[in-house]
């Protein structure tokens, strides 16, 4: 039995809920596992509503948790995630130019990169999601990026282009999703 969006198997989600329900930190654990069950690594509105109903927790509280923790995604993710730190140390050491270079490499137009806003863009082919964070807490290693959960320090434009190309991305695909 799958929900109408076919993004998650509700039977598997019920199993996850039964494992964690009533334990300390159950909501976070259930949401984390639910996100992993989704092929695009995100929590859809239907899944959040389902969890709310099953745990008898107000949907507003579920959304508060989902939006508080940067680990949770409310939009579909690309196959690969690139997170660029925009904290003060990274900014002063060139993270803005890294973001521009990354966008150019992936075919994203510079006007999509709003100066003072959080960035959340996914390429049309769903290969890459680019996000920004306020700080990774690794200021001595600035500028810092995260690709698929691995931190890269002292990043340069050449290094970021090389890393993206190593993942197998060539050419431009445009943008189809933003937050």
Domains defined along the chain, listed by start:
10-68 (no CATH), 80-178 (3.40.30.10)
User: How far apart are the C-alpha atoms of 34 and 62, rounded to whole Å?
Assistant: 13
Region 10-36 average pLDDT: 95
> Tell me: the pLDDT tens digits for 103-146?
889 988 877 877 667 888 888 888 999 999 989 899 999 999 99
How much is the average pLDDT of 146-162? Answer: 93
User: Within 13 Å and on the Cβ side, how many CA atoms surround 110?
Assistant: 6
> How many Å apart are CA 77 and CA 69, to the nearest integer?
16
pTM: 0.71
**In angstroms, how far apart are the furthest CA atoms of the chain?**
51
From edge to edge, which strands make up the β-sheet containing 175-178? Answer: 150-152, 145-147, 80-85, 128-133, 120-123, 175-178
Strand pairing report for 80-85 and 128-133: parallel
């Amino acid at each position: 039995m799958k929900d109408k969006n076919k993004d998650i198997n509700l039977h598997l989600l019920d199993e996850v809920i039964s494992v964690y329900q009533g334990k300390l930190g159950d909501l976070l654990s259930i949401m984390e596992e639910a996100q992993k069950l989704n092929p695009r690594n995100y929590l859809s509105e239907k899944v959040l509503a389902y969890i709310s109903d099953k745990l008898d927790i107000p949907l507003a509280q579920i959304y508060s948790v989902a939006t508080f923790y940067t680990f949770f995604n409310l939009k579909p993710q690309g196959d690969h995630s690139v997170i660029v730190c925009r904290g003060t140390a990274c900014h002063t050491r060139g993270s803005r130019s890294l973001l521009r270079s990354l966008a150019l490499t992936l075919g994203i137009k510079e006007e999509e990169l709003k100066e003072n806003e959080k960035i959340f863009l996914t390429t049309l082919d769903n290969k890459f999601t680019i996000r920004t964070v306020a700080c990774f807490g690794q200021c001595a290693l600035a500028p810092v990026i995260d690709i698929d959960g691995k931190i890269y320090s002292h990043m340069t434009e050449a290094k970021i282009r090389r890393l993206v190309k190593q993942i197998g991305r060539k050419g431009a695909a445009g943008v189809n999703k933003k937050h």
